[in-house]
Amino acid sequence: MSVNTKMSGVLRKCINAARNHILIFEIINLIVIFVFFYVGYGIGSGRIIINLPWSNIKSINANLPNNLDYTTVNEVYQALKNNYDGNMTTTELLNGLKHGLASSLGDPYTVYFTSSEAQQFNNELNNTFSGIGAELSQTKNGDLEIISPIKGSPAEKAGLQPQDIITAINGKSTAGLSLDGAVNLIRGQAGTKVVLSVLRNSNQNLNISITRQDIVIPSVNWKIINGNIGYMEISTFANDTSSLALQAANDFKTNHVKGVILDLRNDPGGLLSAAINVSSLWLKPNQLILQEKRGSTVVDSYFAIGDDVLHGLPTVVLINSGSASASEITTGALHDQGDAYVIGQKSFGKGVVQQLINFPDGSQLKVTVAKWYRPDGQNINHNGINPDQTVSLTSQDISANNDTQLTAAENYLAKY
């Protein structure tokens, strides 16, 4: 699953109030460089766009009955109740029915969430996780190694250091344990403790007790590279993206950069409102960003809203197969409106819209309601966005710290 989609200024708030589209998705990256101890960050089972209910759109399923006949369902229930050799609960059975109703459509983006699943979904959307706050990798010989603790995190405060080797988690040896397996053991609810046994400097064995906390990772990082190129990396389109991206743009302007690299590689998407605001940093007011359609009927259109701080600056957008949803909306808008050159590899291809419906018990239904279209009229579902310049990035490149795609972007901007 995963989902299609942060804001400063009155106009942004208006967009949020009008509709809080959400786009989020699940990236499965073939090459794992690092992973946060809580795997909920950025991980789901698809790439989706979520929309608030459209009361003025007629359902194409209006011919279905108002209520289902549950006679045969009750027959199965009675058979389970009378014969199942195990414990059953009413809540589990009802949740199973609800999950089944959604999954019966065969649409990977239509999903029912229980209240706890809905909470996790929203945490993932906003880069919020409960854990210790460190980056972990697995060496060639299978050791689980700390890359670095996140600044100010419980891991840093407890004394965890880069290159520490985790030998046990809560007394369980990590020998033969996968990276994901380690993540699953280390993550947990805020306020609970996890004890890591670590080997430091090949000769010092330590047991470090760490209290898990809720951690929020900023979605935007930026810097000036090569003296005059603004580099902005967006990891997901979350609640803080719009304001941070605007800060980055203003910083670039203050430093008189000659060009900008917008890195959307492995960005699963997030809030549509954030995609609109990020795109608006380049596009002139009222330029088209995307349209939503049901069949051939346009049900909504979205336009740039101002704050075009970066308009006219030569710009490269970096994408790969992990770029989806809001990433693809932003890429398509900047490319089609002539504001960016695209380098990298073909994007994921998530071009449908989901509506998010909240229920009184805290559960949610995410259901596909429309498709979205680029300014050039294309729907990218299952097709993705092809870059103007295809540049591969191999595992050998990554191991050698050779970012061929970033280098290509720098070379492109060097001519300006």
- Domain ranges in the chain are 1-30+37-127+218-416, 129-216
Residue 163 tokens read as 């290159």
CATH number of 129-216: 2.30.42.10
The bridge status of strand 220-225 relative to strand 229-234 is antiparallel
Confidence band, pLDDT 50/70/90 cuts, at residue 57: low
**Cα dist. 335→19, 40, 272, 291 in Å?**
25, 31, 17, 15
Give the pLDDT confidence of 340-350 residue by residue, as tens digits: 999 999 999 99
pTM: 0.74
Task: Identify the residue with better confidence: 129 or 272.
Answer: 272
Q: Average pLDDT in the 45-65 region?
A: 58
SS3 content of the chain, % helix, strand, coil (to 5): 25, 30, 45
User: The CATH number of 1-30+37-127+218-416 is which of 3.20.20.80, 3.30.360.10, 3.20.20.70, 3.90.226.10?
Assistant: 3.90.226.10
Distance between CA atoms of residues 93 and 288, nearest Å: 46
Q: Identify the band that residue 152 occupies on the pLDDT scale cut at 50, 70 and 90.
A: confident
Q: Examine domains 1-30+37-127+218-416 and 129-216 and report if their fold is the same.
A: no
Residue 385, φ and ψ in degrees, nearest 5: -115, 125
Ranges assigned E (strand) in 186-254? 193-200, 204-211, 213-216, 220-225, 229-234
Reply yes or no on whether the pLDDT at 4 is more than 50.
no
Distances (CA, A) of 59 to 20, 54, 153, 370: 21, 10, 48, 11
Residues identified as active-site: 325, 336, 350
Residues counted in the chain: 416
> Strand runs (DSSP E) across 127-249, as ranges?
128-131, 134-138, 144-149, 165-169, 172-173, 193-200, 204-211, 213-216, 220-225, 229-234
Residue from 111, 112, 156, 114 nearest 133 by CA: 156
